[in-house]
Structure 1
Amino acid sequence: MKKQIFYVATAAALLALGSCTDRSREFDACGQIEATEVVVSAEANGRIIALQLTEGDKLTTDEVVGVIDSVQTYLQKEELVRKRSNTQTKWVDIDRQLASQYAQLNKLKSDRERYQALEAKDAATRKQVDDLVSQIAVTEREIAAQRQNYERNNAGIREELALYDVQIAEKDDQLSKCRIVAPIDGTVLTKFAEAGELVTSGKSLFKLADLKQVYVRAYLTTAQLAEVKLGDTVRVTIEDGTDKPRTYEGRLVWIADEAEFTPKNIQTKDERADLVYAAKIALDNDGYLKLGMYAYVRFQ
């Protein structure tokens, strides 16, 4: 009975120190449950108007969870919109502006054809026809010159409108960054800010992690590398403090390309190994896997 009590006390002490228990000797590698964590930071300067989340909340990608004061940015955008609208009124409808001159030109051409027919019958003089031809040429040059001026005017307006479009798009981008959104599906782990606080761009607001897909970060000796390859299926047993710990099927998804010294809180199958290779074993979380749990890996 005393031996059993001593064993339980020793295992608890080792876990508290952050190291694998002697159970790891029954397995090929030992590690801890981890997840991909994302720290969401403010993308705008201002006061947090709302931040509607608490630790433990489950968020979905692009879900809006808060907003930073955007009144000044919105007013700046409205000013640009009105300036653009005012500039738009300066745009010239060239065909409409030249409609009367084109009508005059068409009349001159009609008169020319009529006088040419009369000239053929000796009912009109050659000078009358030549005068009409001259008037037509002058009118065409005037129309061409005015069209060129209108096109230059419109080109300048077009560039000015394009500049306003860029500035408005910039304000739209700034407004979108005033919204606080979740970048991934995940669970809120830590909340760093509260509504009412004044923040600057880059200030951490909260941290979340995708707990549906977790992984074990284990360490392999050089000798073990020859026994495994990426994609291999492995068995993972969780240190949950029970007599019958849960066992999961995982997949080896990553092996480091450089060796490192064995972390102090990790044991390997070969305790004499100084250099080890970090590896990740992906696991589907059924809800029982918690970050920081110790896990033992058995290669198949």
Structure 2
Amino acid sequence: MKKSSFTVVIVLFLAACGHKEQAYDASGTFEAVETIVSAETTGLIKQLDLEEGQVLKAGETIGYIDTVQLHLKKKQLEAQITAVLGKKPDVPAQVAAYREQLKQAQKEQRRTTNLLKADAATPKQLDDANAQVAILKKQIAAQESALDITAAGLTKETLPLSAQIEQLNDQLLKSRIINETAGTVLVKYAEPNEMAVAGKPLYKITDLSTIVLRAYITGSQLSGVKTGQKVKVLVEEADGKYKTYDGTITWISGKAEFTPKTIQTKDERANLVYAVKISVKNDGFLKIGMYADLALTNKP
């Protein structure tokens, strides 16, 4: 009985040791691409609907910055454009008198031509009628040209004003706080009714659906890894067990560095290591800064 009990104790002890000893080739911590979203215009934050830990969609409007002054400036510029364009000449109205004279001159020209055919007018009278028609046509052309130049000049005067309106429209658009990157809000830097300044951070966001493990391998392991390689990532749970994830090596550093103090590789004799990044699909358990071990399962 004693021998049997002793055997059971040894088996349980070895099983426990085997459970704790996990085979791994490197260690590291999880990180993610963090994006700091800043204000694009200056003004009072009227609305900012987000909290730390909130998941945002790409293109989601989460607030806006006060735009009253921008709207008033835009109205002022639009009024200036209207005033300038109001000075444009009405070309048809201003040449109407000349055109009426031309009609009469052309009518006289036709009458004189008919009289000349009936020997009731002289060639000189027809020449005078033709000259009058030609003069009036040139006067109309000159008047229209002058009026067109004036109108074009006034239109050009409005171009800088129109450009300013486009700038205001862009600022009005940027006054809307739109989340461009889908992800989880990590830090909130501003609150409603605070003053926003262009370039001032509003919040930090990152996409945690896929997280990156930055691990370190030795020079002797370097030949056994390549980008695109499938690996196993082991994360210790609260009960001491390990949770395993599938990962893919996406980057291998081309430069050696000294082992970070917080990281211990399998080969403790190596002073220089190479950083690698492993992309891991996150089920919600993985967090930034969490430690994990790397097992190079499918070695080429």
The change in CA–CA distance for 1:106 and 1:259 in structure 2 (over 3 A counts) is farther
Query: What are the within-5 Å matches in structure 2 for residues 9-158 of structure 1?
Result: 26-95=23-92, 97-158=94-155
**Cα deviations by residue, 1:226-258 (Å, 9 ceiling, x for unpaired):** 222222222112223334422121211122333
Deviation at 1:188, TM superposition (A): 0.8
| 2:169 maps to 1:172 | yes
| 2:197 maps to 1:200 | yes
The change in CA–CA distance for 1:227 and 1:145 in structure 2 (over 3 A counts) is same
**Cα deviations by residue, 1:156-199 (Å, 9 ceiling, x for unpaired):** 22222221211001111222222222120011111112112223
| 2:219 maps to 1:228 | no
Aligned AA (2:252): I
CA distance in 2, matches of 1:153, 1:258: 68
Q: 1:249: which partner in 2?
A: 246
CA distance in 2, matches of 1:247, 1:37: 25
Q: 1:297: which partner in 2?
A: 294
Structure 1 gap segments, 5+ residues each: 5-21
| 2:237 maps to 1:237 | no
CA distance in 2, matches of 1:133, 1:23: 114
**Cα deviations by residue, 1:53-78 (Å, 9 ceiling, x for unpaired):** 11111111222212222211221111
CA distance in 2, matches of 1:253, 1:79: 54
Deviates more, 1:109-118 or 1:66-75: 109-118
Aligned AA (2:276): A
CA distance in 2, matches of 1:258, 1:36: 21
CA distance in 1, matches of 2:237, 2:102: 95
Aligned AA (1:256): S
**Cα deviations by residue, 1:180-229 (Å, 9 ceiling, x for unpaired):** 22120011111112112223222221111111121111123233232222
Q: Give the alignment's TM-score, normalised by structure 1.
A: 0.84
Deviation at 1:93, TM superposition (A): 4.7
| 2:158 maps to 1:161 | yes
Structure 1 contact 239–293 (Cα < 8 Å) conserved: no
CA distance in 1, matches of 2:206, 2:237: 21
| 2:266 maps to 1:269 | yes
CA distance in 2, matches of 1:276, 1:117: 109
Which of structures 1 and 2 has the bigger CA Rg?
2
**Cα deviations by residue, 1:25-55 (Å, 9 ceiling, x for unpaired):** x212211121111111122222222221111
Deviation at 1:148, TM superposition (A): 1.8
- % identical equivalent positions: 43
The change in CA–CA distance for 1:102 and 1:290 in structure 2 (over 3 A counts) is same
Q: 1:17: which partner in 2?
A: none
Structure 1 contact 217–279 (Cα < 8 Å) conserved: yes
Aligned AA (2:282): N
Q: 2:16: which partner in 1?
A: none
Decide which of 163, 187, 210 is 1:190's aligned counterpart: 187
Q: Give the alignment's TM-score, normalised by structure 2.
A: 0.84
Aligned AA (1:174): Q
SS of the aligned residue for 2:260 comes to: coil
Structure 2 gap segments, 5+ residues each: 1-8, 13-19
CA distance in 2, matches of 1:53, 1:87: 45
Structure 1 contact 240–293 (Cα < 8 Å) conserved: no
Q: Runs (4+) of structure 1 moved beyond 6 Å? A: none
